[in-house]
Structure 1
């Protein structure tokens, strides 16, 4: 089973997306399950993980409607994780978390100083088999994620977009050291995908190779999963082109065997409980 572990749907008139600015006009339109279905058929992707992109209760309602598409294998919904009481109210409003395999909220570069106050909530999520998706960008954010991983070791944490490697500058540290620290937590996994900043700035896919090789060395294939970040990836390439480039880059590092199969589907199926 091939799994695209990270994509979105949205209708621009129904929601504001403050993370999208003047550089991203190419994706300022609606993207629906019908749009992605054709791309999946062309590339041979069997299942997907649908991810929230707006922090508001109505986003959960939209996600549950979108999830009726037969290829959506898992949904990562929204919770106000910094406010445990509000998060529990939202869980009650949507009738529980049975239809979600993970949750997240957009954190940008904001401090994660609230994490210690939400440990109890994360323990409840872990007990329900719910993963937490997060994109730590700064060293302080990564340290906060590491602290939560230590406090709630049973929680599955999925770090999105390779933890934003400094590809644009060709830098290495502190990113490489922080990735190693994250990999030291046995329940932390990572997505081989690109965030919006890199997709705006990246000039050549081969620039990623040394960062990808380091992530593979630190995490191993069993904790990595490939993800398109569609439709954001359309800033750089078509879905088929992007998927082909990512798969080729992984095959270059891993070879074409069981490890590649894990990154292409097995890890995502495990972390997000996709049958």
Structure 2
């Protein structure tokens, strides 16, 4: 599979039939996120199902995965309410208080009655996260695996990658999803240690990767440059293969730099023209369906 020669702007790849594996909804001010406080006026408003519905209709995206964006107990209530009113939401990645094992198990019990919840996440930012590999945290992650839930994480640093690899080995039945291309250095044009980290993550068959761009990159990248994506997406495709790679918009966060339709087109174009149709179908929808066990 090659990653050069992306389709021309005159014929961008279609996202029709895709599953958008990562987006958010929120209301301001009750759904307050500290990272939106300054410098991001584009995001300082409500983003709700009706707003995304317009984009899905325009692009032909068939379904989505709604992901938590705030580490507070009320987040799961918001997510479940949104999912109940939005038929295009095929699965939810909820919030879990992972640093408090007793509270985490209690929350899992509360979520057990909601089959739309297909995974969980806890935001770690750039903070050191040695607690992730403590025995009590590993046991919570084993419980996730027993319940058939996936675990999302945004590995921003090399230390985070180390921890994800440790967990992947310790809990081989846990389906792990590394969000946002594991923070590629798009803003600097760098390569290492990101490229080696991608290879290490990919060496664990229970780790998948989201083809998306996170807020950490978007706020440091002076301008969206789709021509830069190919090198990093190509590395991800080379290491993970199409069956462990899933396209994801990260809407509405991506609107800091790009529209929804442009984002989905750019990410798929970055795969290159040498990807076989069956492989492209995996990236567009198949991986997300399997990893999150979404309804067909």
TM-score, reference length from structure 1: 0.96
- Judging changes above 3 Å, is the alpha-carbon distance between structure 1 residues 239 and 134 closer, same or farther for their aligned structure 2 residues? same
Q: Counterpart in 1 of 2:254?
A: 233
Q: Is the Cα contact below 8 Å between 2:211 and 2:247 reproduced in 1?
A: yes
Give the Å deviation of 1:264. 0.4
Q: Counterpart in 1 of 2:11?
A: none
2:125 equivalent to 1:108: yes
Q: Counterpart in 2 of 1:123?
A: 142
Query: For the residues of structure 2 that align with 1:172 and 1:208, how far apart are their CA atoms?
Result: 12
1:169-214 residue CA offsets vs partner (Å, 9 max, x unmatched): 1111111001100000001000000001322314311111111111
Q: Counterpart in 2 of 1:55?
A: 71
Query: For the residues of structure 2 that align with 1:150 and 1:21, how far apart are their CA atoms?
Result: 38
Aligned counterpart in structure 2 of residue 82 of structure 1, from 99, 103, 126: 99
Q: Is the Cα contact below 8 Å between 1:254 and 1:260 reproduced in 2?
A: no
Q: CA RMSD in A?
A: 1.4
2:33 equivalent to 1:13: no
1:224-255 residue CA offsets vs partner (Å, 9 max, x unmatched): 000000001111121112112222222x1543
**140-149 or 110-119, which deviates more:** 110-119
Query: For the residues of structure 1 that align with 2:192 and 2:247, how far apart are their CA atoms?
Result: 23
Query: For the residues of structure 2 that align with 1:93 and 1:129, how far apart are their CA atoms?
Result: 15
2:42 equivalent to 1:26: yes
Query: For the residues of structure 2 that align with 1:97 and 1:112, how far apart are their CA atoms?
Result: 29
Q: Is the Cα contact below 8 Å between 1:213 and 1:253 reproduced in 2?
A: no
Q: Is the Cα contact below 8 Å between 1:91 and 1:97 reproduced in 2?
A: no
2:287 equivalent to 1:271: no
Q: Counterpart in 2 of 1:219?
A: 240
Aligned counterpart in structure 2 of residue 249 of structure 1, from 266, 270, 276: 270
Higher relative contact order (CA 8 A, sep 6+): 2
Q: Specify every segment of 5 or more residues in structure 1 that has no aligned partner in the other structure, as ranges.
A: none
Q: Is the Cα contact below 8 Å between 2:224 and 2:258 reproduced in 1?
A: no
**3-state SS of the aligned residue for 1:61?**
helix
1:32-51 equivalences in 2 (<5 Å): 32-51=48-67
Q: Is the Cα contact below 8 Å between 1:52 and 1:59 reproduced in 2?
A: yes
**3-state SS of the aligned residue for 2:65?**
strand
Give the Å deviation of 1:93. 3.8
Greater share of helix: 1
Give the Å deviation of 1:52. 0.3
Query: For the residues of structure 1 that align with 2:196 and 2:236, how far apart are their CA atoms?
Result: 11
**114-123 or 96-105, which deviates more:** 96-105
**3-state SS of the aligned residue for 1:67?**
helix
TM-score, reference length from structure 2: 0.89
